[in-house]
Amino acid sequence: MSKGRLFILSGPSGSGKDTILGGVFQRLPEVRFSISCVSRPMRPGEQEGDKYHFVSREEFEQMIAEDGLLEHNCYVGNYYGTPKKPVEEAIRDGADMIVEIDVNGADQIRAKTENTVSIFILPPSVAVLRERLINRGSESPDKVEQRMKEALVEISRASDYDYIVVNDRLEDAIDDVVRIIEADRLSKERFDFANYGND
């Protein structure tokens, strides 16, 4: 069996990560997605179990205490975390999985897991990012400013990642992420040398 891979995808809020991921999963439906747990309120249009499991702060703290999370972070006053079990299952099954997390979560996973490839999504410019956050209209002006501040910190960490994708044209950005995943499948680390030629 060929080995699976954990793809870490990060990028500032408003970089278009979710839209890119939607396109990637259409093209590569066999890739698994890690559903995060979050203590922030649901936004209009979001659904439980789609991208997030929405939990209370107390439930989240319980998961931390039970060591049920691979990583977690507090972002703009709310907890976000990656449940451990689905990731362990994906690695066991030799499947590809994408975890969409922030830069701090990415650091935590890299420190614990060897088998990762990381991709950072950049907006075409900081001005475009601010425009996208304002136009989203789901946050108050001071939350938008907080997200902008976090975004600048996140962008300064882009060089920690293996690949950088600039989301200028959506279709190109989707193509880029698909090509990274497909090329990685041919990497020597993923080749099953032990069973080669044993048919």
Taking the C-alpha atoms of residue 41 and residue 56, their distance in angstroms, rounded to an integer, is 9
Residue 159: what are its φ and ψ, rounded to 5°? Answer: -70, -5
Establish if 102 lies at the interface with ligand 5GP (CB under 6 A): yes
The residue number with the shortest CB distance to ligand 5GP is 105
Contact window for ligand 5GP (CB under 6 A) among 59-67, 98-106, 119-127, 176-184: 98-106
Q: Are 9 and 100 in contact (CB under 8 A)?
A: yes
The single residue listed with the structure tokens 């049920």 is: 68
Estimate to the nearest angstrom the gap between the alpha carbon of 173 and the chain centroid.
15
| Placement of tokens 């203590």 in the chain | 39
Is 101 an interacting residue with respect to ligand 5GP (CB under 6 A)? yes
Q: Which span sits near ligand 5GP by CB under 6 A: 90-98, 100-108, 163-171, 172-180?
A: 100-108
Q: DSSP for 78-105, please give it.
A: EEEEEEHHHHHHHHHHT-EEEEE--HHH
Q: 43 or 185, CB closer to ligand 5GP?
A: 43
96 binds ligand 5GP (CB under 6 A): no
Enter the tokens of residue 112: 């614990």
Nearest distance in Å: CB 133, ligand 5GP: 10
Binding-site member from 8, 20, 21, 36 for ligand 5GP (CB under 6 A): 36
Does residue 82 belong to the site contacting ligand 5GP (CB under 6 A)?
A: yes
* From candidates 32, 105, 118, 167, binder to ligand 5GP by CB under 6 A: 105
Under rule CB under 6 A, residue 100 binds ligand 5GP: yes
Q: Using the rule CB under 6 A, give the single segment among 53-61, 79-87, 129-137, 159-167 that binds ligand 5GP.
A: 79-87
User: Which positions from 40 through 69 interact with ligand 5GP, judged by CB under 6 A?
Assistant: 40
Distance from C-alpha of 108 to C-alpha of 73, rounded to nearest angstrom: 10
Using CB under 6 A as the binding rule, whether residue 176 contacts ligand 5GP is answered as no
What are the CB-based long-range contacts (under 8 Å, 24+) for 142-147? 143/76, 146/76, 147/12, 147/13, 147/14, 147/76
- Under the rule (CB under 6 A), what is the footprint of ligand 5GP? 10, 13, 36, 40, 71, 73, 75, 80-82, 100-102, 104-105
